[in-house]
Structure 1
Amino acid sequence: MDVAQFKTDVLPLKNKLYRFAFNIVKDEELAKDVVQECMIKVWEKRDEVKHINNLEAWCMQVTRNKALDKLRSKHVKKTDLFEVEFDTRKEKDTPVVLAERNEIMNRIQFLIDALPNRQREVMQLRDIEGYSYKEIADMLEIDINLVKTNLFRARRKLKESLIKENAYGL
């Protein structure tokens, strides 16, 4: 792999790698460090890259491993950050609507963070990043049926928690 190929094949992945790393470490600077270390590793292994079938999956796997290493090596404080833009509205929302939406998104992020690690990772990769089941199985080095099972369980638990919260007090 030369510099030009690195720029065209690897650098465009940095935003996906960052989002994935951030979902694991919950810290912007730490996630940036993880992505930078991943890029360095890819560059160092540039001679071996031609033997890798799916470069993107391999980069995601490296990112996951480096992020988990960071969490193990440091006691990172996790924060509740869940920023989603809903810009499909035709008119501006009132402060009350914005506050309610923000509260709901924070609650959803709290419930996602409460999921077991594997379920949270699979949900992030499938529902947020949009990877296929096969790609997720390759990235996490697990069977495709385990990917489907973890995703099903994560979605079901999230749905049940939201229904339980919303039905409380009725």
Structure 2
Amino acid sequence: MNKLTFDQFTKKIYIKAPLEKLYWCWGTSEGICSWFLRKADYTKKDGTLRKSDENIQKGDLYTWEWHNWDGQAQGEVLEANGNNHLTISFEDSHVSVSLEESKNAVLVILKQFNIPTDDESKLNIHHGCSNGWTFWLANLKAYLEHGVLLNETEFDLTNIPLAGFEFVNM
């Protein structure tokens, strides 16, 4: 990305953890629920539910549920190499996560792209997801490096209309 645009953004963070552990955090239901989601179901191409500790595969369909949000996100796993890269459809766009070993850490590179550029998408997807991913990547770092989760699970924020835009640890 040479310049900032509304159809994509990139977020990066170094995390001191093994590459395999980071891929587990993104590429399994068990892993992604350890730091990010309340529930994640991945359905194989044959219609069966993938086991929680099993790596996701290209073509899997997913349903995600968050803490403090009653809705669900659904999409498809577009790429998953079982090692250091995956791409999913997400919020009318795509999200890719790449993991690059670097000295004593792993560089996590998250890209959200193919974002529609209408005003609603600029606000909800570009602005909302960009802010959200910034927090969630920091949460992943806190979890893996210090065993601490920063997201709100004690207080119920579901009845606050702008909670997703106002609370930094949603």
The bucket for the TM-score relative to the shorter chain is: under 0.3
User: TM-score of the superposition, structure 2-length normalised?
Assistant: 0.24
Q: Quick check: which one's strand share is greater? A: 2
User: TM-score of the superposition, structure 1-length normalised?
Assistant: 0.24
